[in-house]
Amino acid sequence: MLFFALVQNYAQAGSTSLLTLSQSKPKAPIRIVAVMDTEEIPITLDHEIVPSFWVEQHKAPGFDFDTDTSFQKYLNSDHPFDNSTYTPTDLLPIDSNFTANNSKAFKLRQEAGIQFADMAWHFRNAFSGDRLYIASAYRSSGLQWYLIKQWCALIKCAQIWTSEHQAWLAVDLKVITKWGKWYSLDAAYPNKYSNRLKANAAEYGFHNTYQKWVEIDGKIVEWWHRRYLWTELAKLLADNNQTFAEYYNTINN
């Protein structure tokens, strides 16, 4: 008998809770895509099975840039949400004990939150206790409108109904060391923390949407901004040194 197996370090099959996932200490990242004979599988597996949403939502290659509920929904001033009141049904607090502030005060969509918790755990371990700090996650259209009205130019803040934060998939990040020192993730001051996120965030499905200025991305550079796209797309962009806007415009022109 043959079956298709997907394996990753942060997840478990069945009814594993998010709390268990975030508090457990995962092994080094593992991803196996294989067809194997079930008669050869040992009784005790040395890996954990990825949750069912990976199998159900990502059965075939290809990305959906248009549907509001898609992890790859492309958003800019010319490509807003179809539903201005869009709110996903799979929202959960970010359940991680490895951020510098209370992650549970912020919500992401379930898959994005699990991936972020895994990224935060590996980040903390890589720097012996220095942690990611969540500065912002979801922003409502009302708050987005307030920011624009008060001071935020459209080359920095997205118009309402076009923000990746409103998709419940984006976070703005800083770093706090174990000694309490703050570090920004600003392009003008690159450091070991920004370098790690640049090199590794795609492994967890996160992409820096705004890194090549207004002419390409429509916004100024924001190294602190990370948006969940799904691992395959995030890695594709990282491998080709493309931003989301570059890739989207290339395949649609």
217 vs 19 pLDDT, higher one: 217
Q: Is the pLDDT of residue 34 over 70?
A: no
What is d(CA 240, CA 6) in angstroms, rounded to the nearest whole number?
A: 25
pLDDT in the model for residue 143: 75
Rounded mean pLDDT, 227-235: 96
pLDDT band at 14 (very low <50, low <70, confident <90, very high): very low
* Residues whose CB falls within 8 Å of the CB of residue 178, separated by 6 or more in sequence, listed in order: 128, 129, 130, 131
What is d(CA 34, CA 12) in angstroms, rounded to the nearest whole number?
A: 18
Mean pLDDT over all residues of the chain? 79
| Best-predicted range by mean pLDDT (53-57, 135-139, 186-190) | 135-139
pLDDT in the model for residue 61: 52
Q: Is the pLDDT of residue 238 over 60?
A: yes
pLDDT in the model for residue 187: 64
Q: Is the pLDDT of residue 173 over 80?
A: yes
Paired tokens of 164: 């990746």
pTM: 0.74
Cα distances (angstroms) measured from residue 177 to each of 193, 222, 245: 10, 21, 33
30 vs 177 pLDDT, higher one: 177
Q: Is the pLDDT of residue 203 over 80?
A: yes
**Which domains, and CATH codes, for the chain?**
1-60 (no CATH), 62-251 (3.30.1380.10)
Q: Is the pLDDT of residue 119 over 60?
A: yes
pLDDT band at 159 (very low <50, low <70, confident <90, very high): confident
**CA contacts within 13 A on the Cβ side of 180:** 0
Q: Is the pLDDT of residue 132 over 90?
A: yes
